[in-house]
Chain A
Amino acid sequence: MVDLSLGQLGSGSILLALVLALYAAVTGMAGAWRRDARLLTSARLAAGAVFLAMTSAVLVMEAALLSDDFTVKYVAEHSRIASPVWVKVVTLWAALEGSILLWGWLLTGYTAILAVTAPNSTLRPWALAIMQLAQIFFIGVSALVANPFSIVPNPPLDGPGPNPLLQNHWMMSVHPVLLYLGFVGLTVPFAFAMSALITRRPGSEWMTLTRRWTLTGWGFLTAGIVAGGWWSYEVLGWGGYWAWDPVENVSFMPWLTATAFIHSVQVQERRRMLKAWNVLLITLTFALSILGTFLIRSGIISSVHAFGDGPVGPVFLGFFLVIMVSAFGLIALRWDQIRDRAELDSVVSREGSFLTGNVLFLAMAFAILLGTLFPLIVEALTAEKVTVGAPFFDQVTLPIWLLIFLLMGIGPLLPWRRAEEQSLKRNLAWLAGAFLVSGGLAFALGMRKVYPLATVALAGYNFTSLGLLITGALHPRIRLSKRSPVAIFKSYAFENRRRFGSMIVHSGVIVVALGVMASSGYRVDEQLRLDFGTSVPFRGYDLTAVDRFMERTPGRISAGVVVEVWQRGRLVTTLRPRTNVFGQNPQTISTPAVLYTPKWDLYLNLASSIGPDQEFVVIRAVQSPLITWIWIGGLIVALGTAYALSPQTRQHRTVRGEEAART
């Protein structure tokens, strides 16, 4: 019997997956072309086999990481014996090759699930074929360009471990997986859209079939972005969560186009309009997720968490171009069928507001893309080295956000086609009243900055809009029924999951907006010198450094101070900001300590070294009002998405087809 090493086993699994994926794609396309049911069934079975082969590759990598097998290149370069088990497990996605392996694995998983569960329709064969083409790309990169299983001829005794920033927080085990689940989930509607163009069925069938996939993907992407923000907050030490770093921007751009897509598909479902627009949006969403990977991984844009350069960048750029050219080629080829024949009846209508919102989302995505790429353009033209500062992104996106919040309140209240004047006026009066009252209240409480004031006013306006939506829906039901209003509300929320889920999501968005506004508009950031034993006032607190400490865990050495936080003579809590060194890596990583409260966070980060003979430490103290509500709002958005996706009870399932056309 031949003794196989883990590296050979892993490479073998990937190669097997590649061969199977090629077989699946070729058979699938041939079957779709010749309408051969046997070939199609074979391709669907092959999708399951591809997934199994990739699962085996992932398991082998985990085995190599957990058993410290430094003959495997990825393990030798990114793992370390002393790391705790959870760090070894998540090291799979702590660097480039492993991330691509994970992305590919998730994609094959989705393809396999789709092959089994997607209802048999005219669209399915080509949609599966396109998923299979996409997975060939990812598996191919893993097999040929960035093989994590390459064998190291002279294996080291120990490795350097993953990037210290990544082993510093458990959030790192969640955030990338959520993002990839989002990107992969949004591949499904893209595949179906392409299939709809190929098979000349550009109606709303493709979006109805993939609605759950789209929402799931969007929900994961949203959760991934919020989780990434929280990770930055807890790790990077400046008390913020979003710095308009390229790596953040490239995850945000597909989110914007996906959000636009979720809204505009409803226009097509209801009004048979925006066919080409919807195909365009989902194409951009998919393409931007690939472009983002290229921008970050190629090293052409310097970013906080760049993985460095390599041959992977150009390959992703090539894939991006292939997607764009073939998708736009298809759109051009089928232009006659997807051109809109219906015209907008009135801008003041549900579809009018959705369309305007779409333009705003797309404009924001474009501005962010421009800001992200601008340093490249300037360097190419003038050889000057520049970065685009956060002020640009703030200046451009904040006004667009305010307009979007304005539409978010009024849009769902408008009927399709054309608003009836009387109810429009009544609703507008309520909304304007709420806007003025909440804005006035904020002004009376001492807020003077324009954007925060506008955000508070729009929050009141939007909550009123949600109230109007619910009362508007419940009022006729209450009049016609003898049941209690509570029971009617329950059954309304239960029967209209998509609609009610969207209301939950929108309320979560408002909560996030309030958190972002308050924490960035009213943040206090100071450097404090704390002499041991002497209390220093900071924003109503008294901070006393009482002690220093040293901690040694396998793989990490930490040093920090114990700071007592007093408020009005009462000890509130004890915070322990520290700095860490991981193994041989000279980089020190600080771990801030945070007191979370609903009103504001008190965030302490060590700003100086703590020598044993030094009688003081310097602390960066940040107070951010309402910042916790960003994470709570993100959770509300995720829960609302899950609610909209939750399966209907049995009696409602029979009418799902009609409901699809109605909501």
Chain B
Amino acid sequence: MKRLSYGIAGIAVLIIAGLLIYRSLNASLVYFILPNEYAQQPGEYQGRRLRLGGIVETDSVRFDNESLQLTFMVTDSLQRYPVHHRGSPPELFKENTGVVVEGSFNDGVFISDNLLVKHSEVYEPPPPGESVDVEALKDSLQ
């Protein structure tokens, strides 16, 4: 009898713990996506924490000295989105380099609180006019 009740109690605890873990795991998953993936189903990613990868578009970088706000366009050459990042550009940040920003979308603008520069040797930006291999881009940024 004692054994049985211990067993039932144990299983109940496990089930509850499992549910709790699953819920918080699901809530804290951070998806790594490219701009075109966001464009396909913006509803699914709305308000979620994301890691958005892409290339910093040429002539799009602005840094406001007063508010310390960095804005630029991130692109995978299929889609482009504006990024607002609070903080000054990191040392290796420049146009046409790979970046990964972490944050979430708000009305089509990506609000970032973490900016990583990926100076990957694998990925070469394509010459103008040619399309990029999106999968290769994603792998090089990961």
A residues sitting closer than 8 Å to B (CB atoms) are: 302, 343, 363, 367, 370-371, 374, 378, 384-392, 395-396, 527, 529, 579, 586-588, 607-609, 616, 618, 620
Chain A nearest CB, measured from B65 CB (Å): 7
Interface CB pairs A-B, < 8 A, 24: A302-B142, A370-B25, A371-B25, A385-B32, A385-B138, A386-B30, A386-B31, A387-B29, A387-B51, A389-B28, A389-B29, A389-B49, A390-B28, A392-B24, A392-B27, A395-B28, A396-B20, A396-B21, A529-B66, A529-B68, A588-B91, A608-B88, A618-B68, A618-B88
Chain A nearest CB, measured from B61 CB (Å): 14
Of the residues A385, A388, A616, contact of B65 by C-beta under 8 Å: A616
User: Binary interface profile of B, 37-64, with partner A (CB < 8 Å = 1, else 0)?
Assistant: 0000000000001010000000000000
Q: Quick check: B92 and A586 within 8 Å, CB to CB?
A: yes
Chain B nearest CB, measured from A267 CB (Å): 17
Name, among B20, B28, B87, the residue most crowded by chain A CB atoms within 10 Å (CB to CB). Answer: B28
Q: Quick check: B30 and A389 within 8 Å, CB to CB?
A: yes
Q: What residues on A are CB-neighbors of B17 within 8 Å?
A: 363
Q: What residues on B are CB-neighbors of A391 within 8 Å?
A: 24, 27-28
**Complex Cα spacing A442 to B28, Å:** 30
Tier of interface size on chain B? 20 to 34
**Complex Cα spacing A392 to B22, Å:** 10
**Complex Cα spacing A529 to B33, Å:** 32
**Complex Cα spacing A551 to B28, Å:** 43
Q: Which residue of A lies closest to B119 (CB)?
A: A586
Of the residues B21, B29, B89, B92, contact of A608 by C-beta under 8 Å: B89
**Complex Cα spacing A391 to B88, Å:** 26
Q: What residues on A are CB-neighbors of B33 within 8 Å?
A: 385
Q: What residues on A are CB-neighbors of B20 within 8 Å?
A: 396
- Asked whether B86 is an interface residue with its Cβ less than 8 Å from the other chain, the reply is yes
Q: Quick check: A367 and B31 within 8 Å, CB to CB?
A: no
Of the residues A388, A527, A618, A620, contact of B28 by C-beta under 8 Å: A388
Chain A nearest CB, measured from B102 CB (Å): 9
Of the residues A386, A395, A618, contact of B24 by C-beta under 8 Å: A395
Q: Quick check: A387 and B91 within 8 Å, CB to CB?
A: no
**Complex Cα spacing A607 to B32, Å:** 25
Q: Quick check: B91 and A384 within 8 Å, CB to CB?
A: no
Q: Quick check: A607 and B30 within 8 Å, CB to CB?
A: no
Q: What residues on A are CB-neighbors of B49 within 8 Å?
A: 389
User: Binary interface profile of B, 110-136, with partner A (CB < 8 Å = 1, else 0)?
Assistant: 000000000100000000000000000
**Complex Cα spacing A343 to B3, Å:** 10
Chain A nearest CB, measured from B138 CB (Å): 7
Provided the pairs A396-B24, A527-B68, A616-B65 are in contact, do residues A388 and B29 lie with their beta carbons within 8 angstroms? yes
Chain A nearest CB, measured from B25 CB (Å): 6
Name, among A302, A367, A385, the residue most crowded by chain B CB atoms within 10 Å (CB to CB). Answer: A385
Q: Quick check: A387 and B32 within 8 Å, CB to CB?
A: yes
Q: Which residue of B lies closest to A378 (CB)?
A: B29
Q: Quick check: B32 and A367 within 8 Å, CB to CB?
A: no
Known: A391-B28, A529-B66, A579-B91. 10 other contacts (CB 8 A): A374-B29, A385-B32, A386-B31, A388-B28, A388-B30, A389-B29, A391-B27, A392-B24, A586-B119, A618-B68
Q: Quick check: B30 and A387 within 8 Å, CB to CB?
A: yes
Q: Quick check: B25 and A385 within 8 Å, CB to CB?
A: no
Q: What residues on B are CB-neighbors of A587 within 8 Å?
A: 92
Q: Which residue of A lies closest to B23 (CB)?
A: A395
Of the residues A367, A378, A618, A620, contact of B21 by C-beta under 8 Å: A367
Q: Which residue of B lies closest to A399 (CB)?
A: B20
Q: Which residue of B lies closest to A619 (CB)?
A: B88
Q: What residues on B are CB-neighbors of A387 within 8 Å?
A: 29-30, 32, 51
Chain A nearest CB, measured from B95 CB (Å): 15
